[in-house]
């Protein structure tokens, strides 16, 4: 009995020792994790805290980073937090503002009138110069030891690409008293990029133990991350240069474009001209739009919609490429007259010629063969009249409510891209289904969200809704390739190496006040994808009100071909025509 008692005491002691070791190990593990977070993950933050310990507590900007990703998977900084200094003064301590200005102006460029005004205020704190990144300048000012003059830590949002992807990235600005994302990705993902602990003058050890208690107690902390975009910086830069040249050549109000992978919805480039310098957006030219018309504005897209109308006709078996109709040039529906772009009759023509010659009467014929109800259902399935789900703020949706009337004239005009207004991104989403085998994709800009060094989320998008049969996609791609090889500018831009599927669009622009269309204002659009047999890229371009030119084939064909040549070389795309000929 006594031996049993002794053994029981030994076992209890061993259990307590093991429990103590387990507790010690758990504490040690948590402490190591916390030190890793402090030294590695949040090292930069705490370095800032150390720099700021001996000055008065102040707001220090801190925000997650945004990255582009190049074709090799390398991350390229797009929006980062830059550190430096700011020059501040205490006017109450400055006796001779002229003398202080004289000494400072020999080191750093500052506005004299502004400095004197601030130095003579009855105030204890004025910011004279922000965003000083030259340590040399900072040290020289410190060495002057001027009474009432201080150099303080400064952090701010910086965009290494300046204007690059300005309408995609957006920028950080004040919303009342707080800095946050105002437009673009900065706004859409503000909840991830925003850093809650902005005052970096908190006690160092207090924060360690506060965070440690959070870990031990298991409190859930809201995730803060960095954003990896699908934007390829070289492709984005090239698109923007083409848009700039095109807009300046034709004196347009606006030029825009999207380059997308039609198979998975990844957007390689999304650009507009005019753009603006993200680091100096307050100095943007008058009239520059900070939002993104590619997702926020709707337009009547014109004849590029005929490609979708043709695909609907093929998919329903209402027509084939060989189907013919008698083109009389004009027709009257519901008391309104519609016609081909030139008003001329073509006689008996095939469906291929409808695309080659961009015949409004041919598109109307197809729609009538399909039927209003079925045609509308396809448009709805393609996403017309609803948001695409792209990860940008303020997305709007297309205006197709006129089709609720069931008047034949409304369906006829919709078949050739007039009377209904949709966003460019809505258009690209629908057109991608022609290229990828008939599947509806989700256009998107974000590939991955990183949480420190040890955790990340790969973003996935459901792309599994079939709209067109696979054979429909193949046939419309073949027909659009014939357009490029034989009809587009007389076949002069045909590629000997690649099959390219493309279609132009020229749409009359509706008057802002309502009541008809302008006679001399047009929206030009162009879309194309390649290789048409197995597409890797879809390019969409549009310009608003080009001057002294009427048709999109004259304004956008060469910009499209320039982008096609760049992409095929940059990505070393395998020519599909050579493969076909070898087979």
Q: What's the CATH number where 520 sits?
A: 3.40.710.10
Query: Which pairing describes strands 75-89 and 501-510: parallel, antiparallel, or unpaired?
Result: unpaired
**What confidence score (pLDDT) does residue 57 get?**
42
- Residue 476 and residue 310 in contact, taking contact as beta carbons nearer than 8 Å: yes
Scanning 371-469, the segments in alpha helix (DSSP H) are 372-381, 408-415, 424-435
What average pLDDT does this structure show over 152-171? Answer: 94
Shared-domain flag, residues 412 and 559: yes
Residue 172 in domain: no
In this model, does residue 214 exceed pLDDT 80?
no
Shared-domain flag, residues 71 and 26: no
* Residue 507, CA distances (Å) to 56, 296, 302, 416, 551 in order: 61, 19, 4, 9, 9
The pTM assigned to this predicted structure is 0.85
Residue 541 in domain: yes
Lowest-pLDDT range of 20-29, 118-127, 339-348, 379-388: 20-29
Shared-domain flag, residues 375 and 411: yes
Shared-domain flag, residues 360 and 508: yes
Q: Which residue has the higher pLDDT, 297 or 20?
A: 297
Q: Given pLDDT bands bounded at 50, 70 and 90, which one contains residue 80?
A: very high
Give me the percent of the chain exceeding a pLDDT of 90.
72
Q: Length of the chain in residues, anyone?
A: 583
Residue 287 in domain: yes
Shared-domain flag, residues 208 and 330: no
d(CA 3, CA 552): 101
Q: Which residue has the higher pLDDT, 149 or 37?
A: 149
- Residue 250 and residue 546 in contact, taking contact as beta carbons nearer than 8 Å: yes
Q: What's the CATH number where 112 sits?
A: 3.90.1310
User: Which of 60-64, 202-206, 319-323 tops mean pLDDT?
Assistant: 319-323
**What confidence score (pLDDT) does residue 219 get?**
38
Q: Given pLDDT bands bounded at 50, 70 and 90, which one contains residue 224?
A: confident
Residue 200 in domain: yes
In this model, does residue 378 exceed pLDDT 90?
yes
Scanning 37-165, the segments in alpha helix (DSSP H) are 43-52, 97-105, 112-119, 135-144
Residue 168 in domain: no
Residue 183 in domain: no
Shared-domain flag, residues 525 and 467: yes
Shared-domain flag, residues 248 and 220: no
User: Which of 25-29, 77-81, 196-200, 284-288 tops mean pLDDT?
Assistant: 77-81
Number of domains in the chain: 3
Shared-domain flag, residues 249 and 209: no
Shared-domain flag, residues 219 and 243: no
Burial 526-551 (b: 16+ CB within 10 A, else e): bbbbbbbbbbbbbbbbbbbbbeebeb
Residue 186 in domain: no
Residue 529 in domain: yes
Range of the domain at 540: 233-582
pLDDT digits (tens, 9 = 90+) for 422-452: 999 999 999 999 999 999 999 999 999 998 7
Shared-domain flag, residues 146 and 250: no
**Does an H or E element contain 24, and which?**
helix 2-36
Shared-domain flag, residues 18 and 97: no
Shared-domain flag, residues 369 and 415: yes
């Amino acid at each position: 009995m006594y031996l049993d008692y002794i053994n029981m005491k030994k076992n209890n002691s061993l259990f307590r020792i093991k429990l103590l070791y387990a507790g010690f190990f758990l504490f040690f593990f948590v402490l190591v994790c916390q030190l890793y977070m402090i030294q590695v993950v949040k090292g930069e933050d705490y370095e800032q805290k150390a720099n700021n310990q001996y000055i008065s507590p102040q707001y220090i900007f801190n925000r997650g980073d945004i990255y582009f990703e190049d074709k090799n998977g390398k991350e390229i900084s797009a929006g980062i937090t830059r550190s430096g200094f700011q020059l501040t003064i205490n006017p109450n301590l400055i006796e001779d503002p002229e003398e202080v200005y004289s000494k400072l102006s020999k080191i750093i460029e500052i506005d004299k009138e502004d400095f004197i005004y601030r130095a003579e205020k009855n105030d204890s704190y004025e910011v004279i110069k922000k965003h000083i990144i030259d340590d040399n300048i900072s040290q020289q000012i410190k060495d002057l030891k001027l009474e009432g003059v201080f150099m303080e830590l400064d952090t701010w949002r910086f965009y290494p690409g300046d204007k690059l992807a300005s309408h995609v990235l957006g920028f950080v600005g004040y919303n009342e008293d707080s800095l946050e994302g105002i437009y673009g990705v900065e706004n859409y993902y503000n909840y991830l990029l925003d850093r809650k602990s902005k005052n970096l003058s908190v006690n160092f050890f207090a924060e360690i133990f506060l965070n440690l208690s959070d870990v031990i107690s298991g409190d859930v902390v809201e995730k803060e991350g960095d954003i990896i975009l699908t934007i390829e910086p070289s492709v984005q830069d090239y698109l923007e240069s083409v848009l700039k040249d095109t807009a300046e050549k034709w004196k347009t109000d606006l030029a825009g474009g999207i380059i997308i992978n039609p198979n998975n919805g990844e957007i390689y480039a999304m650009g507009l001209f005019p753009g603006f310098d993200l680091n100096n957006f307050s100095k943007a030219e008058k009239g520059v739009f900070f939002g993104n018309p590619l997702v926020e504005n709707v337009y009547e897209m014109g004849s590029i919609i005929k490609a979708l109308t043709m695909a609907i006709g093929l998919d329903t078996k209402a027509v084939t490429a060989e189907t013919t109709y008698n083109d009389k040039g004009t027709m009257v529906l519901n008391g309104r007259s519609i016609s081909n772009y030139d008003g001329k009759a073509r006689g008996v023509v095939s469906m291929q010629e409808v695309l080659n010659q961009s015949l409004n009467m041919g598109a109307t014929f197809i729609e009538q063969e399909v039927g209003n109800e079925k045609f509308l259902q396809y448009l709805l399935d393609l996403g017309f009249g609803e948001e695409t789900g792209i990860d940008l703020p303020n997305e709007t949706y297309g205006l197709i409510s006129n089709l609720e009337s069931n008047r034949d004239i409304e369906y006829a005009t919709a078949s050739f891209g007039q009377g209904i207004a949709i966003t460019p991104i809505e258009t690209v989403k629908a057109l991608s289904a022609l290229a990828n085998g008939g599947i509806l994709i989700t256009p998107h800009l974000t590939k991955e969200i990183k949480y420190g060094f040890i955790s990340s989320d790969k973003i996935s998008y459901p792309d599994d809704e079939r709209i067109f049969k696979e054979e429909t996609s193949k046939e419309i791609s073949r027909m659009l390739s014939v357009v490029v090889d034989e009809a587009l500018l007389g076949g002069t831009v045909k590629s000997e190496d690649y099959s390219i599927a493309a279609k132009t669009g020229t749409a009359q622009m509706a008057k802002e006040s309502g009541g008809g269309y302008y006679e001399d204002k047009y929206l030009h659009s162009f879309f194309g994808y390649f290789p048409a047999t197995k597409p890797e890229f879809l390019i969409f371009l549009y310009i608003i009100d080009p001057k002294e030119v009427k048709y999109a084939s004259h304004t956008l064909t060469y910009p499209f071909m320039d982008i096609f040549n760049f992409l095929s070389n940059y990505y070393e795309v395998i020519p599909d025509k050579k493969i076909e000929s070898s087979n």
